[in-house]
């Protein structure tokens, strides 16, 4: 499993940067001003992607704001059945109708070729996945969206370093959402968008959704995160995991690879108008502070991680190459040689036994989307059938 290092000392323009320009709302945590650090992160994304950016507490909040800003309740959104259930519940919270598309067996992403024209004409938006960093067929999706006047919204959480035909993922659609906790190893998320005029409206929406929590709860969350990090890199992993769950328990956990839910409860939340408050129990599952600004110290650490990313990227590329050379990935997997994947998808027989073997040694492998969303939540979405060969991406995949 790849982990990003963040050992470089500071990033230019960090704590000593000038105040944020007028009209740009300051971000606060427990009354403290964190505008400078957030602004530097936004400028990093502007330079890297050529898009305007808004720093937020999480990638899932970034997705939700994008849905609310550019779409309307009842709009149909094409998405992959192989994505995080948190993304799925965020779509539902925004009162949208998820349409689960067919999966391309060669990539694990949506297969645009297998979708009929009549289906495209009934959509309002397309949400990409870029599973494990493997790029979607952005050329085909971009063409279909242009032809049918659809919003192309990029979920770039797994694709911070991914490109398609020389362009970075995040440079195709009108809006893209990133998570800084994955490739970067930092905190928060970023929403990028092509229209500068959208910034104020997005900031207002964000202000309405942000929740300010007490210092003790924030510190407890930080302590849980630290115990998880230490446990992942030390010998007494099981003991530390038990200590973490005893001292700082989460009220809801995933059962197997998916989050348990009751269909009637989800439908009732939608009937009452959706929104993050009503869907909070399903969206916050592994990130309880997804609507809360992080500590200033965490923001500064994130800046260091961003500065060190290109340097650490060489190690990630080398690791990905070694895993790809094992011969356990699909033949012809379209991974550019300069792309540092978030996870390398290995395919194994009796995967659950392999996972149990690793778990006994304190190594927990995640980002397994089994069952697919169309099997996991058949009463909450519309679906288009996938070929049987695509089942390996949920049944046999071992993301490392």
For the chain, domain boundaries: 10-213+258-285+289-400, 215-250
What DSSP element (H or E) covers 363?
none
Phi, psi angles (nearest 5°) of residue 77: -120, 120
CB 389 within 8 A of CB 105: yes
State how far the Cα of 292 lies from the Cα of 210, in Å rounded to an integer.
6
CB 57 within 8 A of CB 290: yes
What DSSP element (H or E) covers 388?
none
Nearest to 134 by CA among 304, 342, 351: 342
- Residue-level pLDDT at 18: 34
- Residue-level pLDDT at 29: 41
CB 353 within 8 A of CB 68: no
Query: What are the structure tokens assigned to 307, written together?
Result: 């500065």
SS3 211: coil
- Residue-level pLDDT at 241: 58
- Residue-level pLDDT at 225: 62
Q: At the top level of CATH, which class does the domain 10-213+258-285+289-400 belong to? A: alpha beta
State how far the Cα of 176 lies from the Cα of 30, in Å rounded to an integer.
28
State how far the Cα of 175 lies from the Cα of 154, in Å rounded to an integer.
6
Instruction: For tokens 């073997």, name the residue.
Output: 357
Query: What are the structure tokens assigned to 229, written together?
Result: 């990090």
Characterize the bridge pairing of strands 32-33 and 28-29: antiparallel
pTM for this model (two decimals): 0.86
- Burial state string for 53-80 with b = 16 or more CB within 10 A and e = fewer than 16: bbbbbbbbbbbbbbbbbbbeeebbbbbb
Instruction: For tokens 């356990």, name the residue.
Output: 328
DSSP secondary structure of 2-58? ------S---TTSTTSPPPPTTSPPPEETTEE-HHHHHHHHHHHHHHHSSEEEEES-
CA distances from 125 to 65, 78, 100 (A): 15, 6, 12
Query: What are the structure tokens assigned to 293, written together?
Result: 């600004």
Give the side-chain half-sphere CA count within 13 A for 384: 23
- Residue-level pLDDT at 332: 81
Per-residue pLDDT of the chain in tens (400 residues, 90 and over written 9) = 444 446 433 343 333 333 343 444 445 443 334 568 999 999 999 999 999 999 999 999 999 999 999 999 999 999 999 999 999 999 999 999 999 999 999 999 999 999 999 999 999 999 999 999 999 999 999 999 999 999 999 999 999 999 999 999 999 999 999 999 999 999 999 999 999 999 999 999 999 999 986 566 666 666 656 655 555 544 555 555 555 556 555 555 666 899 999 999 999 999 999 999 999 999 999 888 999 999 888 999 999 999 999 888 999 999 999 999 999 998 788 887 888 899 999 999 999 999 999 988 888 899 999 999 999 999 999 999 999 999 999 999 999 9
CB 89 within 8 A of CB 282: yes
């Amino acid at each position: 499993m790849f982990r990003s290092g963040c050992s470089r000392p500071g990033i230019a323009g960090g704590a000593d940067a000038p105040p944020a320009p007028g009209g740009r709302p300051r971000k606060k945590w427990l009354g403290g001003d964190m505008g400078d650090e957030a602004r530097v992160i936004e400028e990093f994304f502007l330079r890297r992607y050529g898009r305007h950016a808004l720093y937020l507490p999480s990638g899932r909040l970034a997705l939700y704001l994008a849905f609310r800003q550019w779409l309307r309740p009842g709009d149909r959104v094409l998405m992959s059945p192989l994505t995080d259930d948190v993304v799925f519940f965020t779509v539902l919270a925004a009162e949208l109708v998820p349409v689960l598309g067919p999966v391309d067996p060669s990539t694990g992403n949506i297969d645009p070729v297998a979708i009929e024209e009549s289906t495209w004409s009934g959509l309002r938006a397309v949400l990409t996945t870029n599973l494990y960093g493997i790029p979607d067929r952005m050329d085909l999706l971009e063409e279909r969206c242009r032809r049918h006047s659809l919003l192309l919204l990029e979920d770039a959480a797994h694709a911070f370093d991914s490109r398609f035909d020389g362009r970075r993922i995040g440079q195709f659609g009108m809006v893209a959402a990133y998570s800084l906790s994955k490739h970067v190893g930092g905190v928060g998320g970023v929403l990028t968008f092509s229209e500068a005029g959208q910034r104020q409206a997005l900031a207002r929406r964000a202000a309405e959704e942000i929740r300010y929590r007490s210092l003790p709860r924030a510190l407890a969350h930080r302590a849980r995160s630290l115990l998880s990090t230490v446990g992942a890199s030390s010998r007494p992993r099981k003991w530390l995991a038990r200590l973490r769950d005893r001292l700082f328990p989460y009220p809801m956990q995933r059962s197997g690879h998916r989050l348990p839910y009751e269909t009637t409860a989800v439908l009732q939340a939608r009937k009452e108008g959706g929104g993050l408050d009503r869907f909070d129990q399903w969206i916050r599952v592994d990130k309880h502070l997804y609507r809360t600004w992080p500590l200033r110290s965490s923001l500064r650490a994130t800046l260091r991680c961003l500065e060190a990313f290109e340097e650490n990227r060489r190690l990630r590329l080398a690791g990905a190459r070694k895993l790809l050379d094992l011969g356990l990935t699909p033949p012809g997997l379209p991974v550019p040689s300069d792309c540092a994947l978030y996870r390398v998808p290995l395919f194994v027989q009796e995967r659950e036994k392999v996972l149990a073997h690793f778990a006994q040694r304190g190594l927990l492998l995640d980002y397994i989307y089994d069952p697919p969303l169309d099997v996991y939540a058949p009463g909450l979405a519309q679906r288009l059938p996938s070929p049987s060969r695509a089942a390996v991406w949920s049944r046999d995949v071992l993301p490392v």
